[in-house]
């Protein structure tokens, strides 16, 4: 029994050539080669969310089993639902359902098997043409043919799952159970029917939660597929993975309708931390914008970055360090993420060059000889300790912030190279905060963080 497409001609074109052409129009030249086993992508009409969906799909690593975990918009049920269909049809052909896995899931997870809950649901159907276009193309260029030689003989099957009244941990457990042999598509739009300004505020907040793994702050109004999103975040947290943004905008950006808009975003799961990912794929870009920011300021010109990688639009904190003849020439940064990382890097580059009160402003002659490094900070974590001896045992090899009432100071992890002794390190940090080196009290606080350093090559 086959599941017929019912949204062809409304959510996406019903003619195969037109559909392929539209999907192809959303493809962009990827600036990195990273592939992921799990993505979050939207499921609205292609004219609205197709670009955001492709931004996520282009990171997806194909697998013999592709799970599509999507919210049920039309039917109410508990836990998850799966179909008995053998194939799902689209204008691009058929996709086989892995009924063996569906039966396994039915035996081991709270679920129902019922075709009727899929009959009027779009959240799975709209994902299928992307899978077919990217991984099962009927026509492809010679270059794409060579790339796909390794997949000859492999048969992609889908595992469609609709989510009802469900605990997100069921989704997390499901992903864990099939992680080694499958890839996962979490289907979800973001906020619905707020003004464009409200939508941007809500979706920015949602994105920050997704990207920092703080799933306890996610509420139902933030995304229609919230259970699947929370399930993937929980899985990522348990495995020390990260979710990295591929795209985010809203329907008002497409239609100019500003009063009732829907948000769209896509993310991919990375085994690297966000900062490791940036260092691996965008070190040159980071260095280029730092240099351009400083040089533009020297010339009294405004610097506007171009072709910004989406990962740099995530909130982040950084320190920029300048050296001249191996001597410090400026160092200023942010401890907490208060703005998109791209802006934090630009601002701190200018401040390190021209606003560090320990030095005179950088000159144009010096600019061509300075050495630049950027430190990307991890999240700040409070250190719990019972006394100073206990604190000393916990500070290496991290960056450390100390706080005592209105006094505070920070050392980056690199300072350990100059101050390798823990007691000397901590005493020096106290003096930097304006405290005596022997000072300690019950109100004394300490926080730790780590950094990923990007240096000129």
| 10-residue stretch averages of pLDDT, the chain, 457 residues long | 94 96 90 92 97 96 96 95 96 96 97 95 97 79 50 77 97 97 97 95 96 94 97 97 96 92 97 96 96 96 92 95 95 94 97 96 95 95 95 96 95 94 97 95 95 90
Percent of residues in the chain assigned helix, strand, coil, to nearest 5? 40, 25, 35
Q: What is the pLDDT of residue 146?
A: 52
Architecture of domain 381-455: 2-Layer Sandwich (3.30)
Q: pLDDT tens across 116-156, in order?
A: 999 999 999 999 999 999 998 754 444 554 555 454 446 89
Per-residue confidence (pLDDT) for residue 3, from 0 to 100: 95
pTM for the full predicted model: 0.89
Phi, psi of 217 (to 5 degrees): -95, 0
342 class by beta-carbon count within 10 Å (0-12 exposed, 13-18 middle, 19+ buried): buried
Q: Is 236 left (phi over 0), alpha (psi -120 to 50) or beta?
A: alpha
Query: In terms of Cα–Cα distance, which of 325, 316, 331 is closest to 414?
Result: 331
Q: Report the percentage of the chain scoring pLDDT > 70.
A: 96
Could you give the CA distance from residue 87 to residue 93 in angstroms, rounded to a whole number?
10
State the CATH architecture for 276-377.
2-Layer Sandwich (3.30)
How far does CA 363 lie from the centroid of its chain? Answer: 38
- Please tell me the CATH code under which domain 2-271 is placed: 3.40.830.10
pLDDT of residue 140: 45
Domain assignments of the chain as residue spans, ordered by start: 2-271, 276-377, 381-455
Nearest Cα neighbor of 313 from 232, 211, 225 is 211
73-100 pLDDT, tens digit per residue, is: 999 999 999 999 999 999 999 999 999 9
């Amino acid at each position: 029994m086959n599941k017929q497409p019912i949204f062809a001609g409304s959510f996406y074109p019903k003619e195969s050539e037109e559909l392929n052409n539209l999907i192809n129009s959303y493809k962009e030249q990827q600036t990195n080669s990273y592939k992921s086993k799990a993505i979050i992508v939207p499921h609205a009409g292609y004219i609205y969310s197709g670009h955001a969906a492709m931004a996520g799909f282009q990171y997806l690593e194909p697998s013999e089993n592709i799970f599509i975990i999507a919210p049920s918009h039309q039917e109410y049920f508990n836990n998850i639902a799966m179909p008995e269909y053998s194939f799902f049809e689209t204008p691009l052909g058929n996709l086989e359902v892995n009924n063996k896995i569906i039966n396994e899931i039915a035996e081991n997870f709270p679920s129902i098997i019922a075709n009727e809950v899929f009959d009027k649901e779009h959240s799975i159907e709209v994902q299928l043409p992307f899978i077919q276009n990217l991984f099962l193309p009927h026509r492809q260029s010679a270059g794409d043919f060579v790339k796909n030689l390794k997949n000859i003989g492999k048969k992609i099957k889908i595992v469609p799952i609709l989510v009802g009244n469900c605990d997100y941990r069921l989704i997390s457990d499901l992903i864990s159970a099939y992680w080694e042999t499958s890839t996962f598509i979490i289907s979800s739009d973001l906020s619905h029917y707020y003004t464009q300004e409200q939508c941007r505020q809500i979706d920015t907040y949602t994105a920050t939660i997704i990207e920092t793994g703080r799933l306890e702050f996610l509420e139902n109004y933030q995304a229609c597929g919230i259970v699947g999103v929370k399930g993937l975040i929980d899985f990522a947290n348990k495995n020390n993975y990260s979710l990295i943004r591929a795209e985010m905008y809203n329907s008002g950006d497409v239609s100019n309708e500003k009063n009732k808009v829907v948000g769209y975003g896509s993310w991919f799961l990375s085994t690297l931390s966000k900062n490791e990912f940036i260092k691996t794929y965008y070190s040159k870009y980071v260095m280029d914008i730092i240099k351009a920011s400083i040089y533009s300021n020297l010339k009294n010109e405004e610097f506007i970055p171009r072709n910004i990688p989406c990962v740099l639009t995530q909130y982040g904190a950084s320190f920029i360090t300048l050296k001249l003849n191996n001597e410090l020439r400026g160092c200023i940064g942010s401890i907490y993420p208060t703005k998109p990382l791209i802006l934090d890097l630009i601002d701190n580059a200018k401040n390190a060059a021209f606003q560090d009160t320990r030095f005179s402003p950088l000159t144009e002659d010096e600019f061509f000889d300075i050495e630049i490094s950027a430190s990307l900070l991890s999240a700040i974590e409070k250190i719990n300790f019972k006394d100073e001896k206990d604190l000393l045992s916990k500070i290496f090899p991290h960056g450390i912030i100390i706080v005592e009432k209105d006094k505070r100071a920070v050392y980056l992890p690199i300072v350990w190279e100059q101050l390798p002794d823990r007691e000397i390190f901590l005493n020096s940090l106290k003096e930097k905060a304006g405290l005596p080196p022997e000072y300690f009290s019950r109100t004394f606080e300490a926080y730790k963080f780590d950094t990923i350093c990007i240096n000129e090559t």
